Amino acid sequence: MKAPRNKRLMNQKNPRRNRQTFGGFFLLILVGVFLLFVFRFSYIVISGQVNNENLSQKASALYQNSTVLRAKRGTIYDASGTAIAEDSTTYSLYAILDKNHVGTNGKKLYVTDKAKTARVLSHYLPLSRQNILKRLNPKNPNTFQVEFGAAGKGLSLSIKQAIDKANLKGIYFNETPARLYPNGIFASHQVGLAQLQNHDEKTSAEAQNLTGIMGLEKTFNSSLRGVNGSKKIKKDSYGYQLPNTKAKEKAAKNGNNLYLTLDTRLQTYLETLMSNAQTKYQPKQLNAVLMNPKTGQILAASQRPTFNPQTGTGLGNFWRDTLVADAYEPGSVMKVFTLAAAIDAGKYQPNTTYASGQIRVGGTTIHDWNKTGWGTIPFSEAFARSSNVGFVHIQQLMGQAKWLHYIKKFKFMQKTNSMLPGEVSGSLQYQHASDQAITAFGQGINVNTMQMMQGFSAIANNGKEMKPQIVAKMTDPNTGKTTNYQPRSVGKPISQDTAEQVRQAMEDVVYKKYGTGRVYAIPGYKIAAKTGTAEISHANGGGYLAGRNNYIFSVVGMAPADDPKYVLYITMKQPQNMTKEASVILSEIFNPLMKRALDYEQSNATTTTQAQMPNVTGKTVSDATAALKQKQLTPIQIGTGNTVVQQMPVKNEVVLDHQRVLLLTNGGMTMPDVTGWSKSDILKLAELTGKNITTKGTGYATKQSLPAKSLLNSAKSITVTLSKPK
């Protein structure tokens, strides 16, 4: 028991040995730390990274500055070369309130005179002086900066410059790339929309590009958007470029420009007619397309509901381009193709008679639209009367295989690839005899509007079927290269003789006393047309909806009938305020638009004295006013600014002496004095401003709920009272 105790005593008496042991242990630790340091240093030297950050890049960033040179998004033009979508820059306003925000020289960089700031800004923003003062005096005294909501965003360059001239301390702007749509509602779903996408937080603000999210803006996004460039300089610690150094610059590649086939004169008129019909009859959907059947070029196209891409009004309500994205049963306008197929196949017997009213096929009874028919009539009357029973007989005479052959020849159930995104191919129910029979009058087959237009072109163009075309060409501003999109024939499903016979039958629809389309006659021109009334399936698939308005009403017309230059097709789904017969409602769009197109065609062949609307967009209000008065037009200013940002009518549209021209300026939108205005003018004002302006009564404006010169944003809705002159 004494040995261990003696050993401890010996160790305590040997301090030198203890120091050696401790020293060795400490040395071992130092060597370990040194090796760890060497290893870490070697790793940094070899990899050049610390905490996954590149040291070389960090060091370069201290002495090098890189700036993004943003590419200009390509412009979209109409057929005449007028811009309908172009690159722009907008500005967002903010105010710094923090009194600690001063410059290196002690200069105050915050708002110092709130009263003056509120007074000046109230002239350029649709906000009152009191509202602005309230924002400049937030409840939290430590607020660093404030913004002004939607009123302070999307400001034009001219407004920014006007505010800058006031030399307001503490007022600053953020620059944002934007897209300008000067015509407002203008084939909105077809032209589309480009917006700034902010999903990528790693991308700097100046590097953000507009992205097409709808329509042709989406289809051609990669061509329109261009490629950003860059500029790099070497800088000193103060951020200035080092002397005797050159900037490394990579030029931006601007986006390609797109030229469409749309005729602004016809397009803007169509939009006005569509808005009038939408307001009066409130259909759930309304579509219209005007085409040149010789080329397939779309001259005008519109749909309701729609939206204003400039203001965003209506954007959240309806995103689909219903001209290609919606498949529907076309109804009796399909008889155009059934008749063409029967004539072309040699199976049409116009002088043979049949008993109209009803027919039973495969256990299903099929009725004429009036339920009773017209007694025994010849097949030559079946088309003009729109007899379902007659066309079931015609389909049976052809045989199901031959009829299906022509359905395919007309390219139904195939996408037209008209460059509009989201197109559906359609469908066909053809298993049973009753299925085959009802396709003869447009049931059991689902199509889209562009497929119908493509098929109609064969009837109007003497058998030659043309692909619908909305893009004419694309130009590259960087190289000068032009890519032309030539008209393209997709086949010849019928002969010229067949097409001529079908058009003659379509004339009977308009000019025979028993025709269903007599309302579509236009004095001075020969019109060929076919009407349609298509039932709408229940959402759950169980039969069809009942009710006077639960149909898709339609008309297709061709003019001049002997050699059509235009095909116009209109569909209207479920009008909620059906105060007139469907054919009368559709004629309020069809007749004036077709007549205007034909008048243009005639005036182009002769010397015309009609005045054309000048382009005053971008001019000062005073210059625009002078130019319009010189043309004997009446300018109406809508806005507090001094620069015209949008006009209606648009450039090149035919105008009449003393016609009102609406000039939307920068700044807050203001209500004009509408005394004496027609309902059409009121609707144009609502369309241009995107505001909820309704009318009551008939005649001309005598009273308005919002006083003249008031800011439009100060009222959620505006009512204009119309009265007939005494």
Q: How far apart are the first and last CA of the chain?
A: 135
What was the pLDDT predicted at 15?
A: 64
672 — pLDDT class (breaks 50, 70, 90) = very high
1 — pLDDT class (breaks 50, 70, 90): very low
In tens, the pLDDT along 576-587 reads 999 999 999 999
pLDDT above 50 (res 305): yes
* pLDDT score, position 136: 94
| Averaged pLDDT for residues 166-184 | 90
Which one-letter amino acid corresponds to residue 342?
A: A
Cβ density class 524-550: b for 16+ within 10 Å, e for less: ebbbbbbbbbbbbeeeeeeeeeeeebe
pLDDT exceeds cutoff 70 at 145: yes
Specify whether the CB–CB gap between 508 and 561 falls below 8 A. no
Mind listing the pLDDT tens digit for each residue in 591-618? Answer: 999 999 999 887 765 443 457 889 998 8
Higher pLDDT, 380 or 23: 380
What average pLDDT does the segment 270-287 reach?
Answer: 96
Report pLDDT for 110: 94
| Residue 202 binned pLDDT confidence (cut-offs 50, 70, 90) | very low
Of 64-68, 355-359, 418-422, the range with the lowest mean pLDDT is: 64-68
Supply the pTM of this predicted model: 0.76
Least confident of 251-265, 276-290, 458-472, 616-630: 616-630
Strand pairing category for 83-96 and 76-77: antiparallel
In angstroms, the CA 663 to CA 623 distance is 12
- Determine the 3-state secondary structure of 193 from DSSP: strand
Report H helices in 137-263: 157-165, 188-191, 215-219, 221-225
Contact assessment for residue 111 and residue 92, using Cβ atoms and an 8 Å cutoff: no
pLDDT of residue 697: 84
Most confident segment among 104-113, 477-486, 670-679: 477-486
pLDDT band at 238 (very low <50, low <70, confident <90, very high): low
DSSP 676: T
pLDDT for 258 beyond 70: yes
332 in catalytic set: yes
Q: How many CB atoms lie within 10 A of CB 513?
A: 7
pLDDT per position as a tens digit, 458-506: 999 999 999 999 999 999 999 999 999 999 999 999 999 999 999 999 9
3-state SS assignment for residue 555 = strand
- What pLDDT, on the 0 to 100 scale, is given for residue 609? 45
Residue 59 pLDDT exceeds 70 = no
The mean pLDDT of 285-314, rounded to a whole number, is 95
Ranges assigned E (strand) in 368-493: 376-378, 427-428, 445-446, 465-466, 471-475, 482-484, 489-491
Selected catalytic residue, list 275, 332, 457, 583: 332
Lowest pLDDT segment from 207-221, 459-473, 504-518:
207-221
The pLDDT value given to residue 607: 42
The β-bridge partners of 474 are 258, 483
Instruction: Label residues 212-230 b or e (16+ Cβ within 10 Å = b).
Output: bebbbbbbbbebbbbebbe
pLDDT at 53: 62
CATH of domain 611-723: 3.30.10.20
pLDDT band at 684 (very low <50, low <70, confident <90, very high): confident
Q: Report pLDDT digits (tens) over 184-194.
A: 899 999 999 99
Q: What is the pLDDT of residue 96?
A: 95
Amino acid at 193: L
Computed over every residue of the chain, the mean pLDDT equals 88
Q: For tokens 């209506």, what's the residue?
A: 314
**Mean pLDDT in residue range 266-275:** 95
Q: Mean pLDDT over residues 249-269, rounded?
A: 94
Side chain identity at residue 520, one-letter code: Y
What per-residue confidence (pLDDT) applies to 318? 78
pLDDT band at 390 (very low <50, low <70, confident <90, very high): very high
Domain 71-224+242-256, CATH homologous superfamily name and number? Penicillin-binding protein 2a (Domain 2) (3.90.1310.10)
Query: Residue 371: how many CA atoms within 13 Å on its side-chain side?
Result: 0
- Preceding peptide of 305 cis, ω within 30°: yes
CA–CA distances in Å: residue 488 to residues 291, 294, 467, 559: 14, 10, 6, 21
Residue 448 reports pLDDT greater than 80:
yes
Q: How confident is the model at residue 712 (pLDDT cuts 50, 70, 90)?
A: confident
**Three-state secondary-structure class, residue 229:** strand
Nearest by Cα to 386 from 533, 557, 207: 533
pLDDT tier, 691 (very low <50, low <70, confident <90, very high otherwise): confident
Per-residue burial over 12-27, b if 16 or more Cβ lie within 10 Å, else e, is: eeeeeeeeeeeeeeee
Most confidently modeled range among 119-123, 529-533, 545-549, 697-701? 529-533
Residue 201 reports pLDDT greater than 50: no
**Domain range list for the chain:** 71-224+242-256, 264-605, 611-723
User: In Å, what is the CA distance from 308 to each residue of 194, 590, 649, 682, 687?
Assistant: 13, 23, 16, 17, 8
CATH class (in words) of the domain with range 264-605: alpha beta
Q: Which residues pair with 489 in a beta bridge?
A: 466
Q: Quick one: what percent of the chain has pLDDT higher than 90?
A: 60
pLDDT average, residue stretch 54-71: 67
Residue 464: closest CA among 502, 423, 432, 495: 495
Look at residue 692 in the predicted model and tell me its pLDDT. Answer: 86
Task: Summarize the confidence of residues 279-290 as an average pLDDT.
Answer: 97
Over range 247-252, report the average pLDDT: 83
Task: Write out the two tokens for 530.
Answer: 């076919």
